[in-house]
Amino acid sequence: DQQVKQNSPSLSVQEGRISILNCDYTNSMFDYFLWYKKYPAEGPTFLISISSIKDKNEDGRFTVFLNKSAKHLSLHIVPSQPGDSAVYFCAASRGIQGAQKLVFGQGTRLTINP
């Protein structure tokens, strides 16, 4: 029972363009969502989060959009840089104030081409 799904295992984007990573969830009890970035041989690093009372959160080049009716969230990276090449995981949690037990998607490998 995959409650959080990232249907694209990989994505390749030109440097300077927009990267859009997508995530779908099935459990309507989730009310806090996060994106993590992972480099090889390192643990995941927190990137950005959004609670279900919002539909958008922005932090520099990173914006997360939440569509609760569609149970869908996306991460936009603009402009994409070579250092953004990594595996990106979306995660969901109950608890509107922040992360508790997280349910992760399978990840999307993003490659930024010079």
Partner 1 sequence: DTGVSQNPRHKITKRGQNVTFRCDPISEHNRLYWYRQTLGQGPEFLTYFQNEAQLEKSRLLSDRFSAERPKGSFSTLEIQRTEQGDSAMYLCASSLGQASGGYTFGSGTRLTVV
Q: Site residues (CB under 8 A) for partner 1?
A: 4, 6, 9, 34, 36, 41-46, 49, 89, 91, 95, 97-107
Which C-beta is closer to partner 1: that of 17 or that of 54? Answer: 54
3-class DSSP assignment, residue 84: helix
**N residues, the chain:** 114
Closest approach of partner 1 to the CB of residue 109, in Å? 10
Which C-beta is closer to partner 1: that of 43 or that of 83? Answer: 43
Closest approach of partner 1 to the CB of residue 96, in Å? 9
Name the token pair of 70. 């569609």
Contact status, residue 106 vs residue 22, Cβ threshold 8 Å = no
1 contacts: CB under 8 Å, gap ≥ 6? none
Task: Using the structure block, give the residue that is written with the tokens 């295992």.
Answer: 9
Closest approach of partner 1 to the CB of residue 55, in Å? 17
Which C-beta is closer to partner 1: that of 52 or that of 79? Answer: 52
